[in-house]
A and B are shown apart, each in its own frame.
Chain A
Amino acid sequence: MAIELTTATTAELSGIRLSFLVPTFESVYPNSPQMFSVDGGFTFVAGGSILDCKPLYKCNRVRLAPATIIQNVSFLTKVEDAGTNPAINLAATGWTAQQLNQFFTDLPVTTKTATIDVVGNPGAATCDTTIATNKGYTVVIS
């Protein structure tokens, strides 16, 4: 019987923990030089043609560089502002309005103070910020 892992952490099945089903950050991005510990979580900078957000489930802040395909955005459940530093920094990543809207759509609902910085993107002025604000995020555009 197939078991769908629906949480970003672990699933329990008959007392057996299945945490190994969630890829570790290191296994997916083994050579990333831009990961460091902040407040017990991680701030992560990623780029490339495919960006998988599943390993970022512990991150409390992310800075995302341009990517053609972004997967598993729903795993960004712990992101939160730290002072004036936004939870999600997409500034000048070259994203279109369509890409931004899709990203907003895929984000989980938040109850934290979480700002998404999309300043400097081609799609910033025309993206639909309400997709994100309706989920509790603050969005800043240029």
Chain B
Amino acid sequence: MNIVSVAVGKQYELEVQRLVKAYPQTLVITERASGVETSFDIPVLNGLATKCKFGLLIPDNLKGPILFCDADLYPVIDDPLQYFKVKEETDIAYVTYPGRWFFPKRLEKYQEAIKKTGKINSGFMYFKNIDICKDVCTKWHKEYLRRMNMYKESGIGEYDEPSLVFVLYNENYNLEFLDQKWNVWDTSDCPRDKAYFVQSHLNNWSPYTSTPGFKNEAWNDLSPV
């Protein structure tokens, strides 16, 4: 399994060391990598945009599946990936946020899209091969930039997941939803002692509280035609 993470910024470079310690083969994309996004004034947005295009920043000749892990994701049991399995026909797999979500009217297209994709948690994502990974990342990055540029005057920033929801909604990839244990975070319903991987920032730091105006939700549909 090829493991990739994006760690743009000192905090993320610190946090990713937990993942690297468990899986030394992890390819870590830092701010020093070629092709890292720099078009935004806000560093967190550059980090997210880099995450959206991570598949374009890794070698083309990687064999086998690609596993993307957020920098603050780390295993809490010994080598959990030995248990990782998806269906033969699965192209892309990820954990979704639990619960049934009901959004305000300004997000009715987003509401429609998550019926197919689920509310994606992009912190742990499987891609069957490098071709699928690159295709998705090309579209994901393009959609993220499109959305962020439309918000530019308002100063709002969005996390990466709504863009990915719209991309996968409009594509025909075989999607598989993984058990919560593969990505447990602070507000998850999955008990920590059942977790395989956990997402948690270090030192009480959070990109949300450290970046004014930063939203973790689709702010407006702005969906592509």
- Asked whether B194 is an interface residue with its Cβ less than 8 Å from the other chain, the reply is no
Q: Report whether A113 and B216 are in contact in the complex, using a CB–CB cutoff of 8 Å.
A: yes
**B179-196, CB < 8 A from A:** 185-187, 189
- Asked whether A46 is an interface residue with its Cβ less than 8 Å from the other chain, the reply is no
What residues of chain B have their CB less than 8 Å away from a CB belonging to chain A? 97-107, 185-187, 189, 206-209, 215-217, 219
Contact of B217 among A81, A135, A142 (CB under 8 A): A81
Neighbouring B residues of A119 by C-beta, 8 Å:
98-99, 189
The 10 nearest A-B residue pairs measured at CB: A83-B208, A129-B102, A140-B99, A139-B102, A113-B217, A133-B104, A136-B104, A113-B215, A83-B216, A84-B187
Q: A134-B104, A139-B102, A142-B100 are in contact. Are A82 and B209 (CB under 8 A)?
A: yes
CA separation between A82 and B98, bound complex, in Å? 17
CA separation between A130 and B108, bound complex, in Å? 12
Neighbouring B residues of A136 by C-beta, 8 Å:
104, 106
Contact of B102 among A38, A84, A85, A140 (CB under 8 A): A140
Closest B residue to A140 by CB, please name it.
Answer: B99
- Asked whether A4 is an interface residue with its Cβ less than 8 Å from the other chain, the reply is no
A-B contact pairs, 25 of them (CB 8 A): A39-B209, A81-B217, A82-B206, A83-B207, A83-B208, A83-B216, A84-B97, A84-B187, A84-B216, A85-B187, A113-B215, A113-B216, A113-B219, A115-B217, A117-B99, A133-B104, A134-B104, A135-B104, A136-B106, A138-B102, A138-B104, A139-B101, A139-B102, A140-B99, A141-B102
Interface residues on A, range: 20 to 34
Q: A38-B209, A113-B219 are in contact. Are A84 and B101 (CB under 8 A)?
A: no
Neighbouring B residues of A57 by C-beta, 8 Å:
none
B199 CB to closest chain A CB (Å) equals 9
Contact of A141 among B99, B185, B207, B216 (CB under 8 A): B99
- Asked whether A42 is an interface residue with its Cβ less than 8 Å from the other chain, the reply is no
A17 CB to closest chain B CB (Å) equals 28
B71 CB to closest chain A CB (Å) equals 15
**A82-136, CB < 8 A from B:** 82-86, 113, 115, 117, 119, 129-130, 132-136
A37 CB to closest chain B CB (Å) equals 11
Q: A81-B216, A113-B215 are in contact. Are A140 and B101 (CB under 8 A)?
A: yes
Neighbouring A residues of B219 by C-beta, 8 Å:
113
Closest B residue to A129 by CB, please name it.
Answer: B102
Neighbouring B residues of A75 by C-beta, 8 Å:
none
Q: Report whether A133 and B102 are in contact in the complex, using a CB–CB cutoff of 8 Å.
A: yes
Contact of A82 among B97, B100, B208 (CB under 8 A): B208
